[in-house]
Amino acid sequence: MLINYLKVAVRSMLRNKILACINIAGLAIGLTAGIFIYMWIQDELSYDRFHEHAGDIYRVVETQFYRGEPFLVAVAPGPLAAQLKSDYPEIVNAVRIRLNGREILRYGENKFVEKRILFADREFFEMFSFPFVMGDPGKALSDPNCIVLTESMAAKYFQDEEPLDKNLVVNDQLSFRVTGIIRDVPHNSQLQFDCVIPFETLRTAYNQGQNMDNWGSNSYHTYIRLQKGYPYRSLDEKIKNLLKTYYPQSNTEFNLQPLTDIHLYAGNKYAADIGGHGDILYVRLSSLIAVIILLIACINYMNLTTARSGNRAKEIGMRKVVGARKAAIIRQFMGEALVYALIAFVVSLVLVELLLPVFNNLSQKDLSLSLRDNIALYGRMLLIALITGIVSGSYPALYLSAFRPASVLKGTLFSGKKGTLVRKCLVVLQFSLSVILIIGTAVVHYQIRYIHNKQLGLDKENLAYVVLQREAWTRYDALKSRLLEMPSVAAVTRTTELPLTLSSSHSGFDWEGKDPMETILFHVVGVDTGYADAFKMEIVEGRFFAEGFFGDSDAVVVNEEAAEIIGGKESVIGKTITEQGQRRTIIGVLKNFHFKPLQLKIEPLVMDQDPGSYMVIRIHPGDIQTTLAALEESYSEIVPEIPFEYGFVDEDYDRMYRVIERMGVLFNYLSVLAIFVSCLGLFGLASYITEKRTKEIGIRKAYSASVTDIVFLLSRQFLKWVLIANVIAWPIAYIAMKRWLQTFAYRTDMGVEIFVLTSLGAFVIALVTISWQTIKAARGNPVDSLRYE
């Protein structure tokens, strides 16, 4: 019997090749999109789960309060880890880490700037599973001057030499003995580093001892591992107010954050967090979109199969006449849908394999389809295909198995009124989903455009920066005057932190009239006199720091937000604020500029004069590459011993929105796919409906209706559905996208034009799709169509 089903399925596919192709194409496209999204989501969900104790590791984070508002911080005081471990037996171990950038490491002639150095407590490798290739994980960090390298880093310095027990020189001062080699850190690890140095080195060689022992300072990421399966919420409750014991003036709370939640749930909600997070919102959105596209593909299959069921009616009738039960017919058509789904699955695997490089590039991931590593993945993809097949086959199977043999075999066919209504609803649903996707995509792009065009309060274009380390920092003046001689350089300034990524903040400011109960967090940044000009920032009141002004060393400049907090409606120029007893006079107010991603509101900022280690260079627009080469040349002449390290402010800015941009591009592709699959369905349905109305068309033409009349007559019906689909889609898309936009403190408006244009687009696409069928039907000879009946 199975063979009989298969034979019929395959032969009817071959007999209706176009229909079969449309069906398979629709399902294959749906599955391809589904598989890609599935792989992407699986990768996002895999972050930090490779650690043996992943389920029992937590990060200790802080909730600080400023003006009653919670402020989340990813770092904790230095003494916390040891204290927790000694006070709570349920904690197996506690580890502090700090990621440091920019040390110069050397072995013989091999010298590189290392940006991903991890300082970690001794038990780091017991808590986290980074497999050792050489050395002993238990002892690798026990000696103060030792270092553990990844395989890539070892190869970079030692090439073919045996790396163990060799010495690496840091900053030409300290010597570190290699005690272990670990595998390269997998991409799905939140902690990304190339080497590990004992944490205590921060005390001995980096002069951080005082900071490390201070309960009032937060500088270190602290992780704890609990006993297996220990309910972390009960410990969370116990340590919540722990800081009060050691630092009574603070109302900061500690919280535990599961390690496996950090990648997707921390977002950019935590200050001083380690970057590169994903976002659960996008994981959920993508899952939803995958389901939508697969659903559209399934609806396609349902529509086409039931619309074309006339071809199969006789067969179904005959099977029933000879004794087939309804269940047998259901099984047969379910099976047929599964055959389609499996063929589509094979096609989609080929597509996925072909498009994988493109997708990897788009998503910045390194996903692979190699069977060796992914047997489980293949299993689940097959499962997705089977579910798709079952969903696709469900309605056709129920619909077809309900045929009454008495009527189908008589040739009168079924009236099919109910079936037509269901099909119309399905097409409307399909188009609604597509329109929602298109509107969503359009809004995302509007927001991206908004981000790019947003007046930030500073001009981020044509700004290069150079990192000043050690000798370079001391030779700033020489560098500056040399660079200013270059015709392509407009201005040179220096700062402690780049303005789009400010992270230092301070809550100890006081002024006359301040509510003593209130703690307010001010961002602080050190600048020099040319700063405001170089960034093209606007002074709204007073003046900026200037050369030769006596007393400017005690002066500060604040942004509008800070001015409002300090002075309310009144002018703050000349007002004094104190910081740990030191008096500072406000000399100017800068127009607010964005120094955080646009998801966040502008916060108060205080600037003082401080020689920072970023040299910022405003370049005249033009040949950036030549200017950059000239910059490097001048730099190397003045500071030959330190490698030249540079960046562009606008590139850093764009990097903050890379996740959103990537989602934007992904949404583009997905909406195109969705609308394409929907159109396949519409095409199939149009051919069916025009066929059914052949007689009507013949009669109308016999009574001298023109081709235009007929095309209009047929199109009107389809356009009505598309209109209904739009009406359904609009409010849903509006509510959904409004919620998404609310994740931005600064956001674009959802213009009416998005909705109008999307609808127009849907109309045009639908018209073009059905035009081939309708025109063909309208131009037919009425004699043929009447005889046909």
Partner 1 sequence: MIQTTNIKKIYTTDEVETTALDSVNLNVNEGEFVSVMGPSGCGKSTLLNILGLLDNPTEGTYQFAGDEVSGCSEKERADLRKGNIGFVFQSFNLIDELTVYENIELPLLYLKTPSKERKEKIDAVADRLKIAHRLKHFPQQLSGGQQQRVAVARAIIGDPKLILADEPTGNLDSGNGEEIMNLLTGLHEQGATIVFVTHSEAYAEYAQRIVHLFDGHIVSENMGA
Among residues 90, 103, 200, 315, the one that binds partner 1 under rule CB under 8 A = 315
Q: Is 317 in the site for partner 1 (CB under 8 A)?
A: yes
Torsion of the alpha carbons at 555, 559, 563 and 564, rounded to the nearest 10: -170
Residues 410-439 that bind partner 1 (CB under 8 A): 410-411
Among residues 320, 482, 618, 700, the one that binds partner 1 under rule CB under 8 A = 320
Q: 106 vs 326, which CB is nearer to partner 1?
A: 326
d(CA 460, CA 649): 6
Residue whose entry in the numeric block shows the structure tokens 């079952």: 390
d(CA 135, CA 456): 50
Q: 315 vs 650, which CB is nearer to partner 1?
A: 315
Can you give the C-alpha Rg of the chain in angstroms? 34
Residues contacting partner 1: total by CB under 8 A: 27
Among residues 409, 624, 665, 719, the one that binds partner 1 under rule CB under 8 A = 409
CA proximity to 784, closest of 690, 694, 686, 691: 694
Instruction: For residue 624, count CB atoms less than 10 angstroms from its CB and return exposed for 0-12, middle for 13-18, buried for 19 or more.
Output: middle
Q: 7 vs 658, which CB is nearer to partner 1?
A: 7
8 A C-beta contact, residue 60 and residue 313? no
Residues 6+ apart with CB under 8 A from 517: none
Among residues 111, 314, 470, 475, the one that binds partner 1 under rule CB under 8 A = 314
Shortest distance (Å) from residue 301 CB to partner 1: 19
Residues 51-90 that bind partner 1 (CB under 8 A): none
Torsion of the alpha carbons at 51, 52, 54 and 58, rounded to the nearest 10: -100
Residues 6+ apart with CB under 8 A from 583: 554, 576, 577
Q: 323 vs 574, which CB is nearer to partner 1?
A: 323
Three-state DSSP at 787 gives helix
Instruction: Supply the DSSP symbol for 553.
Output: G
In this chain, which stretch among 151-159, 316-324, 460-468, 483-491 interacts with partner 1, using CB under 8 A? 316-324
Shortest distance (Å) from residue 416 CB to partner 1: 13
Shortest distance (Å) from residue 4 CB to partner 1: 6
Shortest distance (Å) from residue 228 CB to partner 1: 55
Q: 318 vs 421, which CB is nearer to partner 1?
A: 318
Shortest distance (Å) from residue 445 CB to partner 1: 48
Q: Is 323 in the site for partner 1 (CB under 8 A)?
A: yes
Shortest distance (Å) from residue 334 CB to partner 1: 17
Among residues 139, 325, 452, 720, the one that binds partner 1 under rule CB under 8 A = 325
- The secondary structure element, H or E, covering residue 4 is helix 2-15
Among residues 406, 629, 760, 768, the one that binds partner 1 under rule CB under 8 A = 406
Tokens of 261: 């939640």
> Letter for the amino acid at 666?
L
Three-state DSSP at 106 gives strand
In this chain, which stretch among 312-320, 341-349, 499-507, 607-615 interacts with partner 1, using CB under 8 A? 312-320
Q: Is 310 in the site for partner 1 (CB under 8 A)?
A: no
Q: Is 328 in the site for partner 1 (CB under 8 A)?
A: yes
Neighbours of 267 (CB within 10 A): 18
In this chain, which stretch among 124-132, 164-172, 185-193, 314-322 interacts with partner 1, using CB under 8 A? 314-322
Shortest distance (Å) from residue 8 CB to partner 1: 5
Q: Is 326 in the site for partner 1 (CB under 8 A)?
A: yes
Three-state DSSP at 732 gives helix
Q: 89 vs 323, which CB is nearer to partner 1?
A: 323
Q: 304 vs 316, which CB is nearer to partner 1?
A: 316
Instruction: Measure Cα distances from 397 to 386, 393, 429, 475, 681 in Å.
Output: 15, 6, 20, 80, 18
Q: 226 vs 324, which CB is nearer to partner 1?
A: 324
Residues 15-34 that bind partner 1 (CB under 8 A): 15
Q: 1 vs 375, which CB is nearer to partner 1?
A: 1
Tell me the HSE value of 205 on the side-chain side, using a 13 A CA sphere: 18
261 has which bridge partners?
Answer: none
Shortest distance (Å) from residue 22 CB to partner 1: 19
8 A C-beta contact, residue 445 and residue 663? no
Q: 322 vs 752, which CB is nearer to partner 1?
A: 322
Residue whose entry in the numeric block shows the structure tokens 């080195």: 201
Among residues 7, 449, 454, 601, the one that binds partner 1 under rule CB under 8 A = 7
Shortest distance (Å) from residue 339 CB to partner 1: 14
Q: 402 vs 699, which CB is nearer to partner 1?
A: 402
- Cα angle for residues 603, 605, 611 (degrees, 5° grid): 145
CA proximity to 586, closest of 603, 600, 606: 606
Residues 6+ apart with CB under 8 A from 341: 27, 31, 385, 386, 388, 389, 392, 393
8 A C-beta contact, residue 31 and residue 385? yes
Q: 415 vs 453, which CB is nearer to partner 1?
A: 415
In this chain, which stretch among 49-57, 149-157, 323-331, 501-509 interacts with partner 1, using CB under 8 A? 323-331
Among residues 4, 159, 368, 636, the one that binds partner 1 under rule CB under 8 A = 4
d(CA 355, CA 107): 42
Among residues 21, 321, 354, 783, the one that binds partner 1 under rule CB under 8 A = 321
8 A C-beta contact, residue 264 and residue 45? yes
> Letter for the amino acid at 106?
R
Q: 2 vs 517, which CB is nearer to partner 1?
A: 2
62 has which bridge partners?
Answer: 73, 254
Tokens of 303: 């529509």
Shortest distance (Å) from residue 751 CB to partner 1: 46
In this chain, which stretch among 111-119, 326-334, 377-385, 588-596 interacts with partner 1, using CB under 8 A? 326-334
Shortest distance (Å) from residue 401 CB to partner 1: 10
Among residues 55, 310, 405, 611, the one that binds partner 1 under rule CB under 8 A = 405
Tokens of 273: 């967090």
d(CA 108, CA 230): 49
Tokens of 342: 């499996």
Shortest distance (Å) from residue 782 CB to partner 1: 26
Q: 410 vs 787, which CB is nearer to partner 1?
A: 410
* Binding site residues, partner 1, CB under 8 A: 1, 4, 7-8, 11-12, 15, 314-315, 317-328, 404-406, 409-411
